[in-house]
Structure 1
Amino acid sequence: MQEVKTAELTQLLHEWREGDQQALHRLVPLIYPELKRIAHAHLKREFGHKPLSTTELVSELYLRLATGNSPEWDSRTHFYSIAARLTRQILVDSAREQRAQKRGSGVQPVSLEEAKELAGGRSPDVLAIHEALSQLAQFDERKAQILELRYFGGLEAAQISAVLDLSESTIAREIRAAKAWLRSYLAQ
């Protein structure tokens, strides 16, 4: 995203936070392509049945962003980290709904490519990733947050570094440690 767009986006996020609904309407064309890219990246890595289309996922994400209480956006990256958390919630809700509809016959995995790699070639579903991140957060909130930003937000180490105000080397180290823990957890 270009620098002018980044400044404009940050300004619109602040105006939206202050209650300017027109800012939200001007914001949508700026955020929609990135939200769609994030959603598409998750959904193209799915194996088996896709519970949501890219458009459905982005639409649900937009609805949750637009109808919820606007948090204190610090920056564009902070906004996308919140979008990552909401994406995770939407995918978890969808997977739970699928599981409920199947009445215990198991869900089709909604897998993330990197999570598959960590699980030794298996395809853990979004509920397994959600549970793993929840367990990790109980003893290391920062590592859980970093993995959430990476898997559900599609953020790279430099972007995560900006969100959490940590050095890229610290982020890289935390990702390695969190991946090792996740690999072990998912292997169980």
Structure 2
Amino acid sequence: MSDVTRLLDAIQHGDARAGDELLEQVYAELRQLARAKMAREQAGHTLQPTALVHEAWMRLGDQPFENRAHFFAAAAEAMRRILIERARRKLAACHGANAEHIDAHDIEIAAPIEKNGELFAVHEALDALAVHDARKAELVKLRYFVGLSIEEAAEVLNISAPTAKRDWTYAKVWLYRTISAARG
């Protein structure tokens, strides 16, 4: 049993100190994963890895987790949702949310941010993949949104690295085909 699983079990049994220990143990790992994810984000983004981890931690709240894999899967989902929500807010701002009306001849119009479109396409395709094959969708979340390596994701999902590699290859092809078909 990993230390994280042991601490999660202790929290469920009411050990108040276990929550602090869990935070100390997973915080650095979550921050490292968030940093890896943020390194792939578009230049000029304002979200920092520390902020992403803090917001994800707050969303995880007091819900019970069965084990390390369940915890990191929930963290990956929380980070994914945070990034999607931020992209939607940014896109809404680009499309006139809370905008004042001015003469279009007086302003320069910026090109749409392609990264947000990519993020939405992946988000929608990932939801479809989750219906088709939940484990492969979880693997994508851990790799794409959290930045885990194949080996780390395999450990979290409690599968072998070769199985994770096959699932990753399948998921990438499946997502590519789904996104390509959606774009026309």
TM-score range (shorter-chain normalised) is: 0.7 to 0.9
Letter in 2 for 1:162: E
Q: Which residue pairs with 1:156 in the alignment?
A: 149
Q: Which residue pairs with 1:98 in the alignment?
A: 90
Q: Which residue pairs with 1:184 in the alignment?
A: 177
- Kindly name which structure, 1 or 2, has the bigger radius of gyration based on alpha carbons: 2
Listed one character per residue, the Cα deviations across residues 84-105 of structure 1 (whole Å, up to 9, x for unaligned) are 1111111111111212222268
Check the 8 A contact 1:157/1:168 in 2, yes or no.
Answer: yes
The two structures have a TM-score, normalised by structure 2, of: 0.77
Structure 2 unmatched runs, 5+: 97-110
Structural RMSD (CA): 2.4
1:50, distance to aligned residue in structure 2 (A): 1.0
Distance across 2 between alignment mates of 1:154 and 1:89: 15
SS of the residue aligned with 2:136? helix
1:38, distance to aligned residue in structure 2 (A): 1.0
Q: Which residue pairs with 2:104 in the alignment?
A: none
The number of residues matched between the two structures is 167
Q: Please point out which of 49, 52, 58 is paired with 2:47.
A: 52
Check the 8 A contact 1:39/1:54 in 2, yes or no.
Answer: yes
Q: Taking structure 1 as reference, are residues 78 and 27 closer, same or farther at Cα in structure 2, changes over 3 Å only?
A: same
Q: Taking structure 1 as reference, are residues 92 and 156 closer, same or farther at Cα in structure 2, changes over 3 Å only?
A: same
Matched, 1:8 2:14: no
Check the 8 A contact 1:133/1:144 in 2, yes or no.
Answer: yes
Q: Which residue pairs with 2:115 in the alignment?
A: 109
Distance across 2 between alignment mates of 1:43 and 1:108: 16
Structure 1 unmatched runs, 5+: 1-5, 111-123
When structure 1 is superposed on structure 2, of 20-29 and 170-179 the one drifting more is: 20-29
Q: Which residue pairs with 2:56 in the alignment?
A: 61
Distance across 2 between alignment mates of 1:125 and 1:21: 42
Same amino acid, percent of matched pairs: 35
The two structures have a TM-score, normalised by structure 1, of: 0.76
Distance across 2 between alignment mates of 1:137 and 1:7: 27
Q: Taking structure 1 as reference, are residues 48 and 157 closer, same or farther at Cα in structure 2, changes over 3 Å only?
A: closer
1:32, distance to aligned residue in structure 2 (A): 1.2
Distance across 1 between alignment mates of 2:158 and 2:50: 32
Distance across 2 between alignment mates of 1:125 and 1:25: 37
Distance across 2 between alignment mates of 1:109 and 1:22: 41
